[in-house]
Amino acid sequence: MNGAIGLTGAAAALGIGMLIGLERERHMGQGESRACAGLRTFAITALLGYGAMQVGGGLLVGIVAIALGLLVTVAYWRSLSDDPGVTSEVALLTVLVLGALCATNPELAIAVGVVVAGLLAYREKLHHFARSQLTDAELGDGLILLTAALVVLPLAPDRFIGPYAAINLRTICSLTVLLMAVGAIGHIAVRTLGTRYGYAISAIASGFASSTVTIAAMGHLVARQPDNIKVLSAAAILSNMATVMQVGLILGAVDPGLLRHMWGPLMSGAAATALYGVCLMFPKTATGANQPIKVGGAFNLKLALIVTLTMTGITFVSSVMLSHFGQVGVMLTATLSGFADAHASTASIATLAKSGQLPFDAVVGPVLIAVSSNSVSKCVVAWVSGGRRFAAYVIPGQVLLTLALWAGMVLF
């Protein structure tokens, strides 16, 4: 068994070395300008790292890395006049470490090796993107997003504070990061696919994270792209497709039998949402759909904070209402909690039905109430983020979705 594991690690190390070495071999040049390492050197280095780890552990790997570093330094100074880059040298040291990692965690080593090979293979495209495509505003927004997601968010305490225990700093930070991420996703999609299709596709995908946040992200773009207000409004409405699908997925995950009573409203709501969104996307005269894309920042941090605080305020009001009036029934609970999140309400209602506390056919009303109250929140967010013109397109779509859901309950 140990022999099989050892052979697996050695094979992984050899594969990593050959993969990265093959890419370096294709770009190492000829004659005196030839790079210091190619296919054979990278493969041997990976096996060297693996063997050193097996024989002497981390200490021997460190000694080998120092010796290899000295050799790489000499080779670098010899070729400094021809190629001042250190990519191959750093890649060689990386291969040594990955070869050693194959002795303990070959899966992780292989994954990292593939990523390194990809970075090396697409260097021209990455250089072109960084120098010609990426703007200063986008770079700044990317740094803000990474700082908020990787530094601020993990440090935020995950507990409820304040009166009525309605405020959670981790939730506030998560919503802010999510709003910025949705804006960035939409920005990338539009840069790639154009305004008409990029916004719609990114909105549906982002809607699975939060349709409310997606609507806010589309709203803040209206100020920068007023000619595309119909396309942005269509994307905001189409984000509700993710909400409808998630409700169905949640009910089906708790108990597939719940879908027998909900398929009519969900299908009606999805059809109405798609029809309204398509009508906005393809007007008779698409004034802004074919205009050049104005490249700017990926998101608006100020707006993200405003929308997050608005959603937090709605949650706080819901908590106050529940605290003063108590649990007067599933309907009231669904209404108040739906203002903040329809999916959490749907999950709790489905759990009640699964446990036998609520008949399966009685889940339709509370679920629709939760989705309807969530639509009210989306209307408020649309007004706050995009102004009156944006809300004038979004609110009728939300009303149509709500009416279609209730009509589906009556007809089916």
Percent residues over pLDDT 90 in the chain:
14
Q: Write the DSSP string, 151-207.
A: IIHHHS--SEESGGG-EEHHHHHHHHHHHHHHHHHHHHHHHHH-HHHHHHHHHHHHH
pLDDT at 386: 87
Task: Provide mean pLDDT across the span 107-118.
Answer: 90
What's the average model confidence in pLDDT over 46-66? 89
Which percentage of the chain shows pLDDT scores above 70?
Answer: 69
pLDDT of residue 288: 43
Give the lowest-confidence range in 30-39, 188-197, 362-371: 30-39
* Number of alpha carbons in the 13 Å side-chain half-sphere of residue 316: 14
Q: What is the mean pLDDT of residues 62-69?
A: 88
pLDDT digits (tens, 9 = 90+) for 187-238: 676 666 666 677 787 788 777 767 887 888 888 888 778 888 888 899 899 9
Domain boundaries, the chain: 2-129, 134-411
pLDDT in tens, 296-333: 455 667 666 765 676 566 556 655 655 565 445 445 65
Examine the pLDDT at 78 and tell me if it is beyond 80: no
The three-class DSSP label of residue 160 is strand
Neighbouring residues of 76: CB distance < 8 A, sequence distance ≥ 6: 36, 86, 89
Confidence of residue 289 (pLDDT cuts 50, 70, 90): very low
Is the pLDDT at 291 greater than 70, yes or no?
no
Q: What is the mean pLDDT of residues 154-163?
A: 78
Question: Helix or strand or coil: residue 302?
Answer: helix
More confident residue, 128 or 15: 15
